[in-house]
Structure 1
Amino acid sequence: MVASVAPLTAPVEPDEALRRIAFLLERERAGSYRVEAFRKAVVTVRETPGEELRSRHEAGTLQDLPGIGKSTAGVVSEALDGELPAYLKTLQDKAKPLASGGTELLAQVKGDCHSHSNWSDGGSPIEEMVLTAVELGHEWLALTDHSPQLRVANGLTAERLTKQLRLVDAVNASLGHGFRLLKGIEVDILDDGSLDQTEAMLGKLDVVTASVHSKLKMNKHPMTRRMVAAVSNPRVNVLGHCTGRLVTGSRGTRPQSEFDARAVFEACAEHDTAVEINSRPERRDPPDELIELALEIGCLFAIDSDAHAPGQLEMKAYGAERATTLGIPAERIVTTWDADRLLDWTAGKA
């Protein structure tokens, strides 16, 4: 079950206060520079012995530490004094549910097929994404950093992905049985519909989300062939943000790609590939009419966050609200399935 985290109360450890502030800023889509200040401060605080932190607090020299500025020093000082930091209290007091509807469906969501870490273009380490997912009540999370062609997003070569998979094994070994981090990728759909990763590497993954990131203005017929080829590939489990549109946000707007949606979704239904309901507010992808078409055709769906930071994992609330409004039953949504059922489904495709 995915839910909001409970507010922190005093006393609180300085690093946890800083972590929660970063989470709440990410949740409200604050500027990355503000978030990074608190994330960097967490690292510094954790690397500084407690006695030194307290002595610097008493001497007023916290800002001499790397990555500690006026605001973060204030948070650390208030936490060390046994108080709930004022900035944290302000953020917690104004935090509201992200969406007004879809709460029953959101409560049934157990995981996420689309998330990013700082191995590609995400803002936080894998361990921080996992810790936040656990705090939010996830049962599983697919780590889907980008593939090599997307150099602007630091996409993973086969060699880097191999290293990441070893880290995922280590994370799962440390967690026990209460949560599972799944091995995944957001693989680029290339111009001819092939996938931007080797067949051998794709075969080592639990979840493959495939998305178009390049040549979004390709003509309708070749774009349709491209997407049909990708969703028909037995390695592909989820079709990510299928139109590529942007409807709001700091990156501006972008029209949706042109393709024969019926042909693409019929291929999805035939090959048991889920259509992603991308929950990012700037995407809202697919548009409502395309979700309705996919529902009519008989497609499966995945309500995903496309989170690039821990505080964005909760954005699935927006997707759950849309899915509820459009009448998608929970059993058709793979992110409501437990990890075993999901892995049986992905293994059955390959």
Structure 2
Amino acid sequence: MVAILEPLEAPVHPIEALRRVAFLLERTRAGTYRVEAFRNAVKTLKTLDGADLVERAEADTLQELPGIGRSTSGVITAALAGELPAYLASLQDKAGGPLVEGGGDLYAALRGDCHLHSDWSDGGSPIDEMVLTGIELGHDWLVLTDHSPQLRVANGLTAERLAQQVGIVDAIDRSLGGSFRLLKGIEVDILDDGRLDQTEAMLARLDLVTASVHSKLRMNAGPMTARMVTAVSNPRVNVLGHCTGRLVEGSRGTRPQSEFDARAVFEACAEHGTAVEINSRPERCDPPDELVLLALEIGCLFAIDSDAHAPGQLDMKAYGCERAERLGVPAERIVTTWDADRLLAWANP
């Protein structure tokens, strides 16, 4: 069961204090520079033993270490003194509660996430940090879905890099002993003609495939419809990601939704068992409400996903849950409420 993290209390380990600060900044969409200060401090502290850390704090030389600045050294020093760092306490008070009113019952029913990124593509954190945060939030499973090769700006994975990642994901999954499942996936680009931007051999090795349009978003409605119908009808595709491509707010500005025959696309999704993603990122809020209602009417499955590019953004599924609950999407038609065995049976019939 996914849940909001309980506030940390003193005493707290310096690494845990830094991780929680970063998490809270990420879930409230703070600037990347601020977040990276705390994530980088964690990396530095992991190279030190406890005695070295205490010695540096007592000598007031923490800021001589790479990645440690005034704010991060203050958090470390307070934690070492057995106190709850003031900056962490303030963030917990301001940003530790629910992200949105409503959707709480559905949020608690979630078991996993079909769309998230690591630093293998354009995410900000390594795979193990995404997994650890997912476990802390109460997930039972996550599907790692880094980008495919065509999206060079996001460091998309070639077949060779994806093969390397598959091995790492399998190793992490085995190490968890079944208490949590890390599943192999991809957010694969839908090419202009509806083909998928990855080799068939590599797609066959994955547990789940989320397919999204990232290029030529202003394509005419007819070709765009054919492009999307072809993709969602592909037996390798399990989830249609952020289907309209719109942006409604945020640092990248706004972008209108793509033009396509939504009924035709969603009917193809329903026919082929492809879930329609309710992308929870506030800047996407995709699909818009009227298209969620259309997909619901047609009989589609849904996936409430975070599209997280940082650990704290895993919590953004709260926004998608509010929308889905308000629009009457039943939990049993949301694949991210299913356990891992049911998800895998559906994704790989």
Range of TM-score over shorter length: over 0.9
The alpha-carbon deviation at position 170 of structure 1 amounts to: 1.2
SS at match of 1:277: strand
Distance, in Å, in 1 between the alignment partners of 2:159 and 2:6 is 39
Distance, in Å, in 2 between the alignment partners of 1:132 and 1:339 is 18
Distance, in Å, in 2 between the alignment partners of 1:289 and 1:113 is 23
Distance, in Å, in 2 between the alignment partners of 1:334 and 1:172 is 20
Alignment RMSD = 0.6
Q: Tell whether 2:111 aligns with 1:110.
A: yes
Map of 2:63 onto structure 1: 63
Map of 2:77 onto structure 1: 77
Map of 1:234 onto structure 2: 235
Distance, in Å, in 1 between the alignment partners of 2:88 and 2:283 is 26
The alpha-carbon deviation at position 25 of structure 1 amounts to: 0.3
Distance, in Å, in 1 between the alignment partners of 2:178 and 2:200 is 30
SS at match of 1:259: coil
Moved over 3 A (4+): none
1:153-199 deviation line (CA, Å, top 9, x unaligned): 00000000011011111111211111000100000000000000000
Distance, in Å, in 2 between the alignment partners of 1:4 and 1:122 is 22
Counterpart amino acid of residue 185 in structure 1? I
Which sections of structure 1, spanning at least 5 residues, go unmatched? none
Map of 1:287 onto structure 2: 288
Counterpart amino acid of residue 108 in structure 1? A
Distance, in Å, in 2 between the alignment partners of 1:291 and 1:6 is 32
Distance, in Å, in 2 between the alignment partners of 1:151 and 1:163 is 18
Q: Tell whether 2:141 aligns with 1:140.
A: yes
Distance, in Å, in 2 between the alignment partners of 1:213 and 1:16 is 36
SS at match of 2:46: helix
Distance, in Å, in 2 between the alignment partners of 1:243 and 1:99 is 23
Map of 1:193 onto structure 2: 194
Task: Tell me whether 138-147 or 91-100 shows the greater mean CA deviation.
Answer: 91-100
Counterpart amino acid of residue 73 in structure 2? A
The alpha-carbon deviation at position 52 of structure 1 amounts to: 1.3
Distance, in Å, in 2 between the alignment partners of 1:86 and 1:270 is 54
Distance, in Å, in 2 between the alignment partners of 1:154 and 1:172 is 24
The alpha-carbon deviation at position 53 of structure 1 amounts to: 1.0
The alpha-carbon deviation at position 48 of structure 1 amounts to: 1.2
Distance, in Å, in 2 between the alignment partners of 1:19 and 1:178 is 22
Distance, in Å, in 1 between the alignment partners of 2:82 and 2:175 is 31
Map of 1:337 onto structure 2: 338
Map of 2:50 onto structure 1: 50
SS at match of 2:348: helix
Map of 1:22 onto structure 2: 22
Query: What is the correspondence of 1:144-183 to structure 2 with a 5 Å cutoff?
Result: 144-183=145-184
Map of 1:251 onto structure 2: 252
Map of 1:278 onto structure 2: 279
Counterpart amino acid of residue 115 in structure 2? H
Distance, in Å, in 1 between the alignment partners of 2:309 and 2:34 is 15
Counterpart amino acid of residue 112 in structure 1? D
Distance, in Å, in 2 between the alignment partners of 1:7 and 1:169 is 32
Map of 1:33 onto structure 2: 33
Identity %: 77
The alpha-carbon deviation at position 50 of structure 1 amounts to: 1.3
SS at match of 1:47: coil
Query: What is the correspondence of 1:306-325 to structure 2 with a 5 Å cutoff?
Result: 306-325=307-326
SS at match of 1:209: strand
1:16-44 deviation line (CA, Å, top 9, x unaligned): 10000000000110000100000000010
Counterpart amino acid of residue 53 in structure 1? L
The alpha-carbon deviation at position 117 of structure 1 amounts to: 0.3
1:249-279 deviation line (CA, Å, top 9, x unaligned): 1110000000000000000001000000000
Counterpart amino acid of residue 21 in structure 1? V
Map of 2:213 onto structure 1: 212
Map of 2:92 onto structure 1: 92
Counterpart amino acid of residue 16 in structure 1? E
Counterpart amino acid of residue 296 in structure 2? L
Distance, in Å, in 1 between the alignment partners of 2:209 and 2:34 is 32
Distance, in Å, in 2 between the alignment partners of 1:169 and 1:299 is 30
Which sections of structure 2, spanning at least 5 residues, go unmatched? none
SS at match of 1:250: coil
Distance, in Å, in 1 between the alignment partners of 2:336 and 2:82 is 40
Distance, in Å, in 2 between the alignment partners of 1:215 and 1:346 is 28
Q: How many residues align?
A: 348
